[in-house]
Amino acid sequence: MSDFAGMEDLLQDFLVEASDLLANVDNKLVELEQNPHDRGLLHDIFRGFHTIKGGAGFLNATELVTLCHLTENLFDKLRNGEMEVTPAIMDVILAATAAVREMFHHLEGGVQPPPADPGLIAQLKAALSGALTQEDKAPPTAAMQPPAQPAAPAPMPEASSPAQEPNWEALFAALHGAQGVSSSTAPQKAPHENAATPPMHTDVKGKPAEEIIQHALGRRAADKPGAMAAPLGRRADEKTRDNTIRVDTARLDQVLNLSGEIGLTKNRLSSLRSDIINGRIDTDTLHALDQTVSQLDLLVSDLQNAVMKTRMQPIGRLFQKYPRIARDLARSLGKDVELVLAGEETEIDKTMIEDLSDPIIHLIRNAVDHGVESPEERRVAGKPEKSVVRLEARQEGDHIVIIVADDGRGMNAEKLRAKALEKGLITDEEANTMDERQSLNLIFLPGFSTKEVASDVSGRGVGMDVVRTNIQKLNGSIDIRSTPGKGTSFIISLPLTLAILPVLLVQLGSQPFAVPLSMVREILPVRLEDVQEVGGRATMVVRGEVLPIYPIAHLLGWETERVPQYGVLMQTAEHSFILAIDGFLGREDAVIKSLEGFRPKGVAGVTTLSNGQIVLILDMKELLADLGERRGVPRLAFLPREKLAA
């Protein structure tokens, strides 16, 4: 648990801003050593501590408030000329700054900082009382005792309670007569004696103003800084935070190294640019330019990889909790199941690890519950009684593959189709045209469950569609392979990172759009005469396969200006289709930026092209969802307005 439950955001903001302030103070202190009488510097440093103190108060970081308060008071005296910067004072100030930084480290760990070194506090107080000499820089033990008569520090501002609240009314009355807070009391206009004489001397009731003010302030003699000191060293071990990540220093060094090399390459480019601007465009220069740009290309992609690697964690951290879950579950079902792990060292983006936890649990439960047979069934089938569920991860190219495989009864495509038909999830027509793979994928439909009696373990078929949705959110896909009698495998394929998405740039008129390359199977020419209307929807036959064809303009709700020239054959988990486009620009590695604050339907995000143009990345699934039940558009949708009219 953190000492800052409910205030984490505030704490983060404070640390970021206050650390900047402290760094600024540090720089100013260096300047101050050179110019010890610079009022501006002294004032800036004073304000730095003052501001940190104010923020720390809201975090209840009492010890930090105390330390900043003392340091600030010291600078108040320095800037008012009451004291001068001496080497001894400078030493104390530097020590105090270091102590403030130390306290920031505690705050970063989510714990209230322990009190500052009493020796330091004593030195600050001594400095404030003007008693600090070089001799005071004795070991802390000697300085433990505060000076007998420390200069009274101003009272600590504590959380306001009525008792110590400055009584504004009384004070105002004391200063302005009985008028109270009224806007007409513009002091510059009011011919008030206060303007000429110090306010303490007079007051309406004849009482010394000082006394009223003291009363108004609610000042208590006992108000002392640091009265609420936290126990020393409390929870010092709890320095973990969820938004931190531990990175191998070798990986960080690589990032550093690469950024250095990119800097060098950039210098080379700058110099080549000057050459070219000055008219040196001979073959050598252009060759050097070509080489340098190629090198930059390589370095940047290396850097992207290296940075990405800092976010990678071995998936074994996720896997290790599953054997226990599988065992307990199998036992409760009267089954003997062993969960075998493989590829635990495979690395995957940290955010994905978190989001994968639930889908994998569900797949394991599904395998243990539905996938593998009871020991009796297995005996009859001539299989070993003990069944094996394999959880495996490996990297394949730029993808991570996670497999949950059982050696159970396998899935029966025929049965699945019949079930889906019975539940009204698919039509007769659809059932008849489905191949093996499509049939297996039926279990991902919402509301599908093959068990007559749902067990309390895997639920009532509410899980598999959620599993797929979660995987798709990570830009991944899930596939099923099953052999009756031998077992079923669920294959999850995920991109290495969520940050970079390979896209195909397509054009509608002159407007480019990006579609995820992972969905693209091929690009083909589209001729209007090849587009046939089957059952009211436009289709095209590609190597014997009848595929629906959707003009991109129709999906986006744009007016068609011309007949699309090309088709992109795309594949989602459910079905394949052809996206009809006017042209395409090529592929690009898009860095996805979400649209801040809003998300138009069908738009996954935006990216910037190499020429600086901003392009929308289309969410094909959402766009297709709009087409509704029939998942088709009429052939007429291909014809531009003018042609229809003619």
Partner 1 sequence: MPQDPSKIRFLIVDDFSTMRRIVRNLLKELGFTNVDEAEDGAVAWQKLQAGGFNFVITDWNMPNMDGLTLLQTIRNDPRFNTLPVLMITAEAKKENIIAAAQAGASGYIVKPFTAATLNEKLTKIFEKLGW
How open is the CA angle 547-549-555, to the nearest 5 degrees?
140
Q: Which amino acid, one-letter code, is at 130?
A: G
Compute the least distance from the CB of residue 75 to partner 1, in Å.
Answer: 12
What is the DSSP code (8-state) at residue 518?
Answer: G
Q: Cβ closer to partner 1: 53 or 125?
A: 53
Beta bridge partners of 178: 176
Phi, psi of 178 (to 5 degrees): -90, 20
Compute the least distance from the CB of residue 94 to partner 1, in Å.
Answer: 22
Report the residue from 25, 41, 45, 53 that binds partner 1 according to the rule CB under 8 A. Answer: 53
Beta strands in 244-285 (DSSP E): none
> Strand 387-396 to strand 337-342: parallel, antiparallel, or no bridges (unpaired)?
parallel
The DSSP annotation for 367-379 comes to IIIIISPPHHHHH
Interacting stretch for partner 1, rule CB under 8 A, among 171-179, 226-234, 355-363, 584-592? 171-179
Under rule CB under 8 A, residue 60 binds partner 1: yes
What is the DSSP code (8-state) at residue 153?
Answer: P
Of 111, 393, 344, give the one whose Cα is nearest residue 230: 111
Three-state secondary structure readout of 114-133: CCCCHHHHHHHHHHHCCCCC
Compute the least distance from the CB of residue 188 to partner 1, in Å.
Answer: 6
Whether the CB-CB separation of 130 and 75 falls below 8 Å is answered with no
Under rule CB under 8 A, residue 217 binds partner 1: yes
Interacting stretch for partner 1, rule CB under 8 A, among 180-188, 273-281, 410-418, 508-516? 180-188
What's the rounded Cα separation, in Å, for the pair 58 and 113?
A: 14
Report the residue from 32, 122, 127, 213 that binds partner 1 according to the rule CB under 8 A. Answer: 213
Compute the least distance from the CB of residue 419 to partner 1, in Å.
Answer: 52
Interacting stretch for partner 1, rule CB under 8 A, among 7-15, 446-454, 512-520, 636-644? 7-15
Report the residue from 27, 134, 160, 613 that binds partner 1 according to the rule CB under 8 A. Answer: 160
Q: Cβ closer to partner 1: 118 or 218?
A: 218
Under rule CB under 8 A, residue 87 binds partner 1: no
Percent of the chain that is helix, strand, coil (3-state, to 5)? 45, 20, 35
What's the rounded Cα separation, in Å, for the pair 556 and 511?
A: 12
Interacting stretch for partner 1, rule CB under 8 A, among 47-55, 315-323, 383-391, 453-461? 47-55
Report the residue from 2, 86, 129, 164 that binds partner 1 according to the rule CB under 8 A. Answer: 164
7, 9, 16, 139, 311 from 243: Cα distances, Å: 15, 12, 14, 39, 11
Under rule CB under 8 A, residue 208 binds partner 1: no
Under rule CB under 8 A, residue 172 binds partner 1: yes
359, 368, 440, 445, 577 from 573: Cα distances, Å: 17, 24, 11, 11, 11
Q: Cβ closer to partner 1: 157 or 640?
A: 157
Report the residue from 81, 130, 140, 187 that binds partner 1 according to the rule CB under 8 A. Answer: 187
Report the residue from 24, 80, 133, 214 that binds partner 1 according to the rule CB under 8 A. Answer: 214
Residue 132 has a CB neighbour count (10 Å cut-off) of 23
Under rule CB under 8 A, residue 177 binds partner 1: no
Rg of the chain on CA atoms, in Å: 36
* Stretch 507-546: interaction string toward partner 1, x if CB under 8 A: ----------------------------------------
Q: Cβ closer to partner 1: 102 or 223?
A: 223
What's the rounded Cα separation, in Å, for the pair 289 and 139?
A: 63
Report the residue from 171, 418, 454, 563 that binds partner 1 according to the rule CB under 8 A. Answer: 171
Q: Cβ closer to partner 1: 50 or 386?
A: 50
Output b/e per residue, 554-592; b: 16+ Cβ within 10 A: bbbeeebeebbebbbbbbeeeeebbbbbbebeeebebeb
Structure tokens at 371: 């996938």
Report the residue from 166, 459, 502, 640 that binds partner 1 according to the rule CB under 8 A. Answer: 166
Compute the least distance from the CB of residue 131 to partner 1, in Å.
Answer: 23
* Stretch 11-30: interaction string toward partner 1, x if CB under 8 A: --xx--xx--x---------
Under rule CB under 8 A, residue 151 binds partner 1: no
Report the residue from 28, 50, 251, 327 that binds partner 1 according to the rule CB under 8 A. Answer: 50
Compute the least distance from the CB of residue 116 to partner 1, in Å.
Answer: 18
Interacting stretch for partner 1, rule CB under 8 A, among 82-90, 179-187, 317-325, 343-351? 179-187
Whether the CB-CB separation of 330 and 336 falls below 8 Å is answered with yes
Residues near partner 1 (CB under 8 A): 10, 13-14, 17-18, 21, 44, 47, 50-51, 53-55, 57-58, 60, 154-155, 157, 159-160, 164-166, 168, 171-172, 175-176, 180-188, 194, 199, 213-214, 216-219
